[in-house]
Structure formats: C-alpha cells, structure tokens
Amino acid sequence: MHAFVFPGQGSQAVGMGKELAERSAQARAIFDQANAVLGFDLAALCFEGPEDQLTATENAQPAILTVSIAVLETLRAAEGAAGLRPRLVAGHSLGEYSALVAAGSLGFAEALRLVRRRGELMAASNEGTMAAVLGLELAPLAEICASVGEYGPCVVANQNAPGQLVISGATEAVQAAGERAKAAGAKRVMPLNVSAAFHSPLMQAAAAGLAEAVAATPVGDAAIPLIANTTAQPIQSAADIRRELVEQVTAPVRWIGSVETMVDHGVTAVVEIGAGAVLNGLVKRIAPALQRINIASADDIVAAIK
C-alpha cells in the first residue's frame, strides 16, 4: 500500500523540472499552465534561476507545487504506472497543496493561485525567526519553548523526525529557547534563514488573509484521505480541508505523527513526488521499515514502475 508525499519550501533548486519538461509532454503542459495562470515565466525561473528569486517565498511556493504536479502528471501517464496508486497522501506544509491536487480536492490552477497568495502573505509577515534543534526530543523542547514566554511566543513548529525539530516565534524568544535547549543537551541549534516565524502564532495576519483566499476558491472532497499536518489524522471533506489550509499557517507541522498514522493505516511504501528527497530522509528516521521511493525525474519514473 502506497502513500504519496509532497515536499515543502526549502526543496527548491535551480534546474528543477527542466529535464522532465524536456522529456515529458505532461510536464510541459503543467509548466505552460503555470506560466499562464501566474502571468510570468515560472518555468524559466525553475530551470535557470536566478537562485535568489527562486528562493523568495512568493516564488518558491508556486515553483515547488508546479514541479511536484509536473512529476505527478508524468507518472500518471506512464505505461505500467497503475501499480503506483496512492491510498493516502500527505505533504509537508506547502506540500499539502500538491497532495490535495493529487487527491482531487483542488484543481492545479486553483492550488497555484492559492500558494502564490500564501507565499505573498507569508513573505509580508516579516516578524520573528526559526531555528532547527537537533538531538532533543519533543516533550522537553516544548517545555523549554513554554518557559521563554516573557520574550514572546515560541513553539515547536516542525516536528520533522525524532531529534530533528524546528522552533519558531519571536526572535528573542527563539534565541533564549535555543540557549536553554543547548543547556538541556541539544547537540546543535541552527538559526534558519527565513523571513518570518512560520507555523507560529505570529502568522495570524497571514492566516487571516489566506482564509479569504481559501473561502473564494473551489474546494472539493478528497477522493483519497489526506493526512493533515495540524492533526496527523486523515481528512477528506471539503470543510475539513478548508479549515486545515488556514490553520496550518499558524499550527505545527506534525510530520512524525503523520508518518506514524500512515503505518497505522497499513502503508508499506512512501513515494516522494517532486524536487529533492528531504521527506524520505525523515521517513527513514521515523519508520525505517517503510519502503521509500523518490520520483523527481523521468528516469525515476522508469525505475519506479519496473
């Protein structure tokens, strides 16, 4: 039983999708559609950069979505791919939008407009910061975050893998929590090069703006369940999906719990669709018995369906 998972922001790289677009009519069609919907040459930005423009939040989010769906559509069209059909989908933060396109809840054009708006809103929320904390588990780190409240909000924003967590919040609070985490035995605390405190209460304004965009967007029930970031539980109804897309802007990404839920539902193989291989690296740490497949290129598709 397969689950398809889709990467989030940070997986972007200049050149992503180029080889696929050269070899796949389905991928070219997706890039052409993205260019038309957005009104600029997203394909050229993905294929050629410049890197600083591709990395900008308002560009990175639609770029990553587009590459993921270009890979997905190429896979769907491949002869012999019928055996690679997901029973569950999930995505890391931004990746939830790709997962919802795969599950039939969102159309690609609608998802693209939403993530462009999401990126703009998140880029405008330039308050706070984030830091990766390695070598400390969730419960003690959550206590540390709660202990620095006098400096402002601080939360465990990304529960990526055991001993691989990310904190987010007011800059002074994150710095204080990082120092206390090191004192409590964390191996490393690394400030992240981000424009704001994503997945924290400081993103309330972005969530409110996104709520307006989501309310104006057609959203359907998902044909297969999505493991939601905010709860690590499966959802399918349009109402639950709308709520999830808004709440995940300020809520933690519960990736550890999401993978554990996949295992509980009988998943035996996780297929990462899109640029990079970050998520399967996390899956290996959370549930090493799961088979892991990465599909980012035409050659990957050939290898996966042999």
Digit-coded pLDDT (tens) for 47-95: 998 999 999 989 999 999 999 999 999 999 887 777 788 999 999 999 9
**Is there a cis peptide before residue 50, judged by omega within 30 degrees of 0?**
yes
Look up residue 79 and give its two tokens.
Answer: 């002869």
pLDDT digits (tens, 9 = 90+) for 210-237: 999 999 999 999 999 999 999 999 999 9
Given the residues 93, 98, 105, 168, the one annotated as active site: 93
Per-domain residue ranges for the chain?
A: 2-124+201-304, 129-191
| Global pTM exceeds 0.85 | yes
Per annotation, catalytic residue among 92, 98, 199, 200: 199
Check if 93 is active-site.
yes
Give the residue among 39, 30, 15 at the shortest CA–CA distance from 65: 30
Residue appearing with tokens 């018995």: 289
Q: Does domain 2-124+201-304 bear CATH number 3.40.366.10?
A: yes
Rounded Cα distance, 167 and 155, in Å: 6
Amino acid, single-letter form, for residue 32: D
Q: Do domains 2-124+201-304 and 129-191 have the same CATH topology?
A: no
Q: How confident is the model at residue 306 (pLDDT cuts 50, 70, 90)?
A: confident
Per-residue pLDDT at 193: 82
Q: What are phi and psi of 66, to 5 degrees?
A: -65, -45
Superfamily for the 129-191 domain: Malonyl-CoA ACP transacylase, ACP-binding (3.30.70.250)
Q: At what angle do helices 278-286 and 255-264 cross, to 10 degrees?
A: 60
> 199 catalytic, yes or no?
yes
Kindly give, in sequence order, each residue whose CB lies less than 8 Å from that of residue 243, ignoring residues fewer than 6 positions away. Answer: none
